[in-house]
């Protein structure tokens, strides 16, 4: 990442302090194998476990998720090949205001908040989003995946299998959420017919100031669910709801980490909560991770599900357009907008 600019240090927010994080022992580890069974009793038990994890943590780890280990090895291999390329090669597929998929690095964009490089690509082709964040502007555009020409296997090997399986897992998990909320298991499926889901390859280089920097600053995920594969280095920290402590999530071999996003918080009318998390960087070791951001169609109006709203539990949010929300977030990376740092609390009743 080059020499450390003094402005980088001054601009860092919410810096981790030595000794302020502890290793997670309470984040649940859940076996997803009942999702493949036809047993209602098994599904009820699993849904209760997931519901409890979402209410108490907002995060959980899963095993027996159905993604073959070999497929995960392949995506890890192509990720390492890509980030090992010279900067000028990676920047040939840089994302920009017109197309928000592709490569991004904080050094290139002068973004001093995060110590990382990423590569984004969509799951559904084409993926359609609003062209503008402005209300009333109905123009739409396609997000076009970019691929480095010198790593042809990045597009073909492993990625298709991983995204198909993760998309299925996302549907199964939202089905479990629906079931636990007392709804039909397929209640949320229609929202993902034309999904805006995308996969991100993350690379966190070794950092000479690990106690002053963050790979990713504290944030909540805006979408429905995030399905994360991380390597053995680790670094993900979750803010524990009970006391606000930052908890280090120790990597579990062949497990995925799942967290609830803002959309499910709204759909559930705050029965489930999207929880703050961040990534700590490492002094000596590079770190790789692959989050799968499971998002609904751009035309989805996000609001508490009508079955969960009544006089005793009134709606806590006004409806908002997911597509406009998504586009606002993306465009704010490149220019100052009339709405800064849009969050779901802007839509609170």
Question: 3-state SS string over 73-131?
Answer: HHHHHHHHHHHCCCHHHHHHHECCCCCCCEEEEHHHHCCCCCCCEEEEEECCCCEEEEC
Within-domain flag for 4: no
Would you state the pLDDT for residue 17? 41
Render pLDDT for 214-225 as a digit per residue (tens, 0 to 9).
788 889 999 999
Q: Tell me if 15 is assigned to some domain.
A: no
180 in any annotated domain: yes
pLDDT at residue 48 is higher than 50: yes
pTM score, whole prediction: 0.89
pLDDT for the residue numbered 194: 94
Is 12 contained in some domain? no
Residue predicted with more confidence, 315 or 18: 315
Residue 263 counted as domain residue:
yes
Backbone angles phi, psi at 29, to 5 degrees: -110, 115
Full residue range of the structural domain in which residue 207 is found: 22-347
Q: Is residue 2 part of a domain?
A: no
Q: How many residues does the chain have?
A: 349
Whether the predicted pLDDT of 25 surpasses 60: no
| Concatenated DSSP letters of 244-285 | --EEE----TT-EEEEE-HHHHHHTTTSS----EEE---SS-
We report the CATH number of the domain holding residue 271 as 2.60.120.330
The answer to whether position 1 is within a domain reads no
Number of domains observed in the structure of the chain: 1
- Binned at pLDDT 50, 70 and 90, residue 295 comes out as very high
Residue 299 falls within a domain, yes or no? yes
Helix (H) or strand (E) segment spanning residue 331: helix 322-331
């Amino acid at each position: 990442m080059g020499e450390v600019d003094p402005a980088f240090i001054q601009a860092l927010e919410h810096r981790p302090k030595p000794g302020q994080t502890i290793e997670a022992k309470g984040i649940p580890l859940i076996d997803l194998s009942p999702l493949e069974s036809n047993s209602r009793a098994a599904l009820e038990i699993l849904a209760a476990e997931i519901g409890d994890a979402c209410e108490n943590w907002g995060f959980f780890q899963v095993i027996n998720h159905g993604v073959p280990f070999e497929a995960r090895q392949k995506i890890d291999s192509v990720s390492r090949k890509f980030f090992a390329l010279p900067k000028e090669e990676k920047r040939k597929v840089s994302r920009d205001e017109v197309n928000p998929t592709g490569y991004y690095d904080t050094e290139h964009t002068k973004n001093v908040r995060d110590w990382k490089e990423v590569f984004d690509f969509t799951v559904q082709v084409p993926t359609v989003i609003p062209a503008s964040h402005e209300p009333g502007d109905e123009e739409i555009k396609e997000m076009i995946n970019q691929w480095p020409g010198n790593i042809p296997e990045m597009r073909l090997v492993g990625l298709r299998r991983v995204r198909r399986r993760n998309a299925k897992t996302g549907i199964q998990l939202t089905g479990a959420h629906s079931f636990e909320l007392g709804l039909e298991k397929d209640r949320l499926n229609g929202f993902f017919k034309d999904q805006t889901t995308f996969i991100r390859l993350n690379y966190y280089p070794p950092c000479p100031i690990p106690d002053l920097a963050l790979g990713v600053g504290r944030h909540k995920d805006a979408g429905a669910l995030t399905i994360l594969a991380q390597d053995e280095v680790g670094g993900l920290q979750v803010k524990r709801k009970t006391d606000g402590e930052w908890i280090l999530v120790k990597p579990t071999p062949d497990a995925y980490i799942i967290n609830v996003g803002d959309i499910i918080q709204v759909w559930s009318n705050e029965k489930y909560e999207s929880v703050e998390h961040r990534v700590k960087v490492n002094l000596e070791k590079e770190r790789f991770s692959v989050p799968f951001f499971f998002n609904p169609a751009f035309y989805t109006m996000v609001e508490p599900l009508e079955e969960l709203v009544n006089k005793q539990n009134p709606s806590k949010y006004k409806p908002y357009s997911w597509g406009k929300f998504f586009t606002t977030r993306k465009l704010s990376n490149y220019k100052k907008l009339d709405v800064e740092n849009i969050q779901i609390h802007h839509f609170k009743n």
